[in-house]
Amino acid sequence: MLRTHTCGQPDKALIGETITIAGWVHRRRDHGDLTFIDLRDRYGITQVVASASGEPAHAALAAVRSEWVLQIEGRVRARPEGTRNPKLPTGEVELVAGRVTVLNESKTPPFYVNEETPVDETLRWKYRYVDLRRERSRELMRLRHEVVDHIRRHLVGQGFWEIETTNLIRSDPTGARDFVVPSRYYPGRFWALPQSPQQLKQILMVGGVDKYFQIARCYRDEDPRADRVYEHTQLDVELSFVDPEDVTALLEELYTGIFKKFASKPMRPGAWPRFTYAEAMRRYGSDRPDLRFGLELVDLGDFTSSGLGVFRDAEAVRGLRVPGKADASRREIEAWEQLARRKGAKGLATFAFKGSDVESRVAKFLRPAEISSIGAASGAQPGDLVLAVADSAHVASEALGLIREKMGDELGLADASAHAAAWVVEFPLVERTPEGGWTFAHNPFCAPLADEDLALLDTDPLRARSKQYDMAVDGKELGGGSVRIHRRDVQERVFAQFGVGKEEAALRFGALLDALEYGAPPSGGAGLGIDRLVMTLAGTENIREVQAFPKTQTGFDPLLDAPAEIDPALLKELGLQVVIPTKRT
RNA sequence: GGUCCCGUGGUGCAGCGGCCUAGCAUACGUCCCUGUCAAGGACGAGAUCGCCGGUUCGAAUCCGGUCGGGACCGCCA
């Protein structure tokens, strides 16, 4: 070993001892004949001192520069009275440099390691090895490691097996665009990188594994955003012979423990609130409600004989009371209206309750009774603003839900002192596509909630519920899962709903369907985003910060300078020819 | 595929038609300094303002294009 102690260790107990530490030059303070070096490693910082009298150690310390790598042997001594540094865990002592060895020099770093100033991301990722030495980056890596470690210990302690599934699988056109890898033995064929180990973990259950988990890399070739990138990591779990309640209980215990141990602010105490999808949509206009604030959506009343056409003809007129915003500016309202339109609403009506008056551009089309009903239904007080959307119940709720979400941040309504978790359960089994077809709400393997729900596929598919459950924390989906279909006939019936016939299903999901015929047990599980979890715990919105080697928004890796062209010989071997599309003018 | 914002010494910012011979902080280099811990002091070096083109007597500054980055929409079962 090149060291006997780390830079975080020296304390009073070591006074008088000769030790050797190694690390990076964090800072140098040169007083001429007295020179200090802060030596840094992952564990901490130790002050090293050398005084003149022509010592070689002093000459060595004086010559050293930022980020040089040193090995220093010296004697630990108590710092003189009045020079102790309470800000450092090692601040009671210092190391009197004896033998100083320069293990490596360093160019002047491209940005500061010893300051938490913002730096252009491309530069950070290009020099990630320098960036990782910075405190924030290091602590995020540490947090992520500790969270994953906690998860492993917890699940292993409950009898789970950690099993790695293959990363070269079959491409499936549903869902996100696949990352694809050419096959050399089978020219013209391609592997796909998994978007999640979904089918494989179900197959593990058929194999009798009973309790499985994996810290799994997932890949999708869709345009990156602040909170999503090509590669993310998910905690993938699956158990046999369980109901949704078993899985949510397991995860709730795990996550409550994680938040208790790692979050900078507490989770709201007690069992997590549980909403059906229908209730979450009705009350919050979202399937991942932010419970850090109230501001629930309401039905504004019956307008079936109203003079206002858009209200009369709509399936629902839903409202959101915004306390104290009766004097909202035209600009604010337009911004909210934009959000509503994004969810398909045709417009946004406003009712400003000012004293006994109600100001609204649509007031003249409504009867006084209708206006007072709006006030009563929403509980509006003088000074409040009521936002209303008339549309299908779903569109109206979603539109107001998005506005509500925005309010949480904008108006500072969200309680910043605690995290608020929730379960949303009983998702619909199927949804309408914009083109009028059917698609699955989460994944096509999700079991119907009950026999009647399966039957509803024949009569009223939108009402069919599933055994899907989602975990939401602070209005963000941290993960979700379901109890799976474990019978081939049921799976084929569900596929049929999406227009996937038996033959096509056999082609695309053959292995899983076959497996269902060989004694597949009922099973359930979940996939939970590790990156998002760490982001939530750390309070950052930037997913790249919690990954060790991030790419830019265009998916470029500034560190490895990738993607890159490959050797033509390799292309030939793979049977590939590159045709670069010409840009249209 | 689209919209918006940003690109100025190593880093972070300012300057937004002439006062710029481009300012500030920090880093960097040399020198002084025995108790600092964001050490201090003195001096110094370092930028054709991402790139190309245009407008103008004059462009870091205005316009167009392009490249790079970020945020967002589409997309993301």
CB A394 within 8 A of CB A335: no
Residue A301: per-residue pLDDT: 85
Burial label, A89 (beta-carbon count in 10 A; 0-12, 13-18, 19+): middle
Query: Per this entry, what is the length of chain A?
Result: 585
CB A309 within 8 A of CB A435: no
Residue A448: per-residue pLDDT: 96
Residue A583: per-residue pLDDT: 53
Q: How far is CA A155 from CA A84, A208, A215, A238, in A?
A: 44, 17, 11, 11
A409 has pLDDT over 80: no
Biggest CA pair distance of chain A: 98
Q: List CB contacts of A3: < 8 A, sequence separation 6 or more.
A: A20, A21, A22, A71
Q: Nucleotides of chain B within 7 Å of a protein C-beta? A: 1, 10-13, 26-29, 32-40, 68-77
CB A34 within 8 A of CB A49: yes
Q: List CB contacts of A235: < 8 A, sequence separation 6 or more.
A: A151, A213, A214, A215, A216, A479, A526, A527, A528, A530
Q: How would residue A585 be classed by pLDDT, with cut points 50, 70 and 90?
A: very low
Tokens 């915004």 locate to: A322
Tokens 């360093």 locate to: A106
A584 has pLDDT over 50: no
Using the CA of A176, give the nucleotide whose C1' is nearest: B76
Using the CA of A117, give the nucleotide whose C1' is nearest: B12
Burial label, A64 (beta-carbon count in 10 A; 0-12, 13-18, 19+): buried
Closest to A319 in 3D by CA, of A397, A382, A376: A397
Using the CA of A65, give the nucleotide whose C1' is nearest: B28
Comparing every residue's Cα with the C1' atom of nucleotide B28, the nearest one is A108
Core vs surface per residue A441-469: b (16+ CB within 10 A) or e:
bbbbbbbbbeeebbebbeeebeebbbbbb
Average pLDDT, chain A: 93
A363 has pLDDT over 50: yes
Q: Give the pLDDT mean for A36-52.
A: 95
Closest to A57 in 3D by CA, of A1, A84, A24, A97: A97
Distance measured from the CA of protein residue A479 to the C1' of nucleotide B75, in angstroms: 20
pLDDT, one tens digit per residue, over A264-318 is: 899 999 999 999 999 999 999 999 999 999 999 999 988 988 888 889 999 999 9
Distance measured from the CA of protein residue A45 to the C1' of nucleotide B27, in angstroms: 21
For a pLDDT cut of 70, what percent of chain A falls above it? 99
- The listed range with the strongest mean pLDDT (A101-110, A322-331, A367-376) is A101-110
pLDDT, one tens digit per residue, over A46-101 is: 999 998 767 899 999 999 999 999 999 999 999 999 999 999 999 999 999 999 99
Q: Check residue A9 and report its DSSP letter.
A: -
Distance measured from the CA of protein residue A251 to the C1' of nucleotide B66, in angstroms: 50
Q: Give the pLDDT mean for A441-460.
A: 92
Q: Give the pLDDT mean for A419-447.
A: 88
Ranking A66-80, A100-114, A358-372 by mean pLDDT, the lowest is: A358-372
Q: How would residue A582 be classed by pLDDT, with cut points 50, 70 and 90?
A: low
pLDDT, one tens digit per residue, over A174-205 is: 789 999 999 999 999 999 999 999 999 999 99
Tokens 């249209």 locate to: A584
- The listed range with the strongest mean pLDDT (A235-244, A319-328, A408-417) is A235-244
Does this model's pTM top 0.90? My answer is: yes
Rama region for A436: left / alpha / beta (φ>0; ψ in -120 to 50; rest): left
Distance measured from the CA of protein residue A226 to the C1' of nucleotide B52, in angstroms: 31
Tokens 């009766």 locate to: A326
For a pLDDT cut of 90, what percent of chain A falls above it? 83
A6 has pLDDT over 90: yes
Rama region for A499: left / alpha / beta (φ>0; ψ in -120 to 50; rest): left
Using the CA of A25, give the nucleotide whose C1' is nearest: B37
Residue A266: per-residue pLDDT: 92
